[in-house]
A and B are shown apart, each in its own frame.
Chain A
């Protein structure tokens, strides 16, 4: 019987509470009682009670019996066992619910169903007293069910397991199971699944086998069993393992696509790769795959907007999850830059430097004129900056010109700021720099020599716009001739607009890091995915393929997640691993003492009743005997003994 199976601490706490209640009840009878009597004259000689006295137990032996009764009862409820109480053998069952469990071979049961069958078969072969732990092979996944002997719960948990789209890490799961079995008695470790490993996992599994010595003998190692599903025949599967995009450096709208295909079977395969963007077909390509080949397919296409690239291979095969993949195309819009300047050599150099960036459309605007299009960035060179900022701007400010001014070298660049993070030059020198007053919140990007150093370039955020102040005359400097000049312009424009994403790579199941912050992440199945914030990024464990929805404060982003490159080696089962479950040696079960404790509790209860009630009855009888004037000291005469009414017993008479 299981009873309440309390821990010693719980049983002690419960007994203390019950004992306190019993003592209180015994003391409670000591409360002064009110009694109406015929006269108080005979109490006159008794000292009255002036103050409440310390309470005393009326029937201490009865109380002791009751405490013993409670002790026996509670200990019986705790269901202790006498002697060695070793339980059943610990069993860890590793269920491989990775992406390979989704395989459906025509004419056969899905592999996931076969995993369920094998797991239940192993479960049925175990003694009912063996506690079983269910874990999965997915990395970082919590146990499916902790150690329990509840077979119904185990069967329910096994039946409820579903295939994921993650890649299994079988040796790691086996190590976890072995660690859970570490104890005095050898346990049982069972792997149930398709047994697909990559090369590294196969090597680690060999190490695991060597350490385990699957015999399960005196060394205390657990018995390791493998139950493979799917048979030894290779799986006929081809899949897309990766999609990546790279923007052309010269033409921002031109994309180079790389698709990686894997033939997991031992046969040649002919597949057709179909590409589409936002459900708009881009084209098809027939590809011949040799056995176990990992092939790269490249294509180019022009697409200036954002969207989702989808790739699909046909014909369908045993594993459908890796027959398609998708990838987000970053959207792109050229930044518009207005150069407000007079016609000067530096203006021409500046315009050349700006337009050399293919992601920028530059326009030269004379001072006083308006740009044709609303610019993203305005560069004021040899023109008076406006009082109020209308755009993100770059100002060139000139200092007072002195005839004998000596050139001053720029000694420091701010490597932390996006504008100057790529600039390291120490060959830039200026003459007659402007005096820049750094406001609170300004960032000094560059300084010239001096004591203290004088700020030469400042970054400022003002009125919702960004501003870069350049404090020297370009014509009075060698800066325009330095390579740092186009870098400064490009960094400034990028800081004021946005960085252009030049590559995009497909995401695979497993641990992902996405740009954040995010309020909520929803899996393709509609479930909320737990995630952790890591600075500006969020980290999550993706076990499903499809489109994840990342909900942020500004809206929602859709992130496609695909199947990664899958392990292709099949686990080779050894003879001991395919053996039956070893029978357990007979274990000392421990003597179940709850019945004896219950019997002792009954005895203690009867003893309390006898001490409390029968004792009082006996006392009353003795008092009656005395009141009747019993001559004998014994108030309870033996059967047959006649009670004589003595003179003492009869009332007094005087005649």
Chain B
């Protein structure tokens, strides 16, 4: 069922035990497995209240009536469908360089994992590639049997263009009105910054997770000597000396950027995860995302 290029079967079996976490104040269609603050038909008992005319007599607690002689109604928590939107960065910078595998492939693996988890729990999944603008999304629902179209969709994706997070977020808000879980998988190398895009997601009421994907080389360049660097997206060039001091300075700037991105997510009520492509994606999903309460 799964593509051998993205997820392996053993990993999919492992995912049977994993749940995608989201905020419980999101409103969605009834019938899925996500707990919510909405009361209604369900299996999880929440509270009692006095019976009033018009209530469903099937919810009356007859045992309490026998003991107390009053009609009480049992109230349940309603389990809802949460729309899961996975925004995957498909700009050129995602497929530029990497020590073990490209960031784009790594991002595809993570996106496929999120999509499988959502389908597993009967949620609706929208895979939305973006670069300078939003590309045509794939919306799938109906359980795990619908995972195959997701993989085929990933196989058809390629990297092109630059990164414009704000414009893409703006289009995303305009396209997907209902609140849901938005997982943004990107390197976030946008020359204009990410702040406005993140604030837009927050203002639209989405629960969002920022997954920063980068390679080890991007954090600490291993090259030495003089290099002529070319920006994959803009084509700009710069000659630099890759000395230990300069490498240290570069790494510090990169960590500052990641920390700023983390603070941005925290400040706007979102979550943040940083994935390095030389770490197996299974480890990242099962350990890092679990411990980071993105998954449970």
Binding site for B on A (CB under 8 A): 29-49, 52-53, 58, 619-620, 623-624, 626-628, 645, 650-655
Contacts and interface: CB of A to CB of B under 8 A. Distances in A.
B294 A42 contact: no
A653 B288 contact: yes
A32 B187 contact: no
Interface residues of B, number: 59
A37 B96 contact: yes
Contacts of A37: 96-97, 218, 229-232
Contact of A36 (B96, B223, B226, B288): B96
A42 B253 contact: yes
B58 interface: no
Interface string B228-250: 11111110101111000010011
9 contacts: A32-B227, A32-B239, A36-B229, A37-B230, A38-B187, A38-B218, A48-B240, A623-B222, A628-B279
B173 to A, nearest CB: 22
Contacts of A49: 226, 239-241
Top-10 shortest CB links A-B: A653-B292, A651-B274, A38-B93, A32-B226, A39-B189, A42-B253, A627-B216, A654-B266, A655-B293, A49-B239
Interface in B178-236: 187, 189, 191, 212, 216, 218-220, 222-234, 236
Contacts of A35: 97, 223, 227-230
A48 B220 CA distance: 18
B275 interface: yes
A46 B276 CA distance: 24
B118 interface: no
Given A48-B240, A626-B220, A654-B266, A33 B225 contact: yes
A177 B144 CA distance: 105
Nearest to B98: A38
B234 to A, nearest CB: 8
A43 B225 contact: no
Given A42-B253, A652-B272, 16 more contacts: A32-B226, A34-B227, A35-B223, A37-B232, A38-B96, A38-B231, A38-B233, A39-B232, A49-B239, A49-B241, A626-B220, A627-B276, A651-B288, A651-B292, A654-B271, A654-B292
A645 B292 CA distance: 14
Nearest to A42: B253
B174 to A, nearest CB: 27
Interface stretch (B49-57, B119-127, B134-142, B257-265): B257-265
Contacts of B212: 651
A41 B189 contact: yes
Contacts of A33: 223, 225-228
A634 to B, nearest CB: 18
B284 interface: yes
A110 to B, nearest CB: 80
Contacts of B224: 58
B273 A652 contact: yes
Contacts of B187: 38-39
A628 B250 contact: no
Nearest to A650: B288
A579 B96 CA distance: 91
A60 B284 CA distance: 40
B249 A46 contact: yes
A44 B278 CA distance: 26
B239 A655 contact: no
B291 interface: yes
B63 interface: no
B238 to A, nearest CB: 5
B153 interface: no
Contacts of B293: 653, 655
Given A651-B273, A651-B274, A652-B274, A42 B254 contact: yes
A653 B271 contact: yes
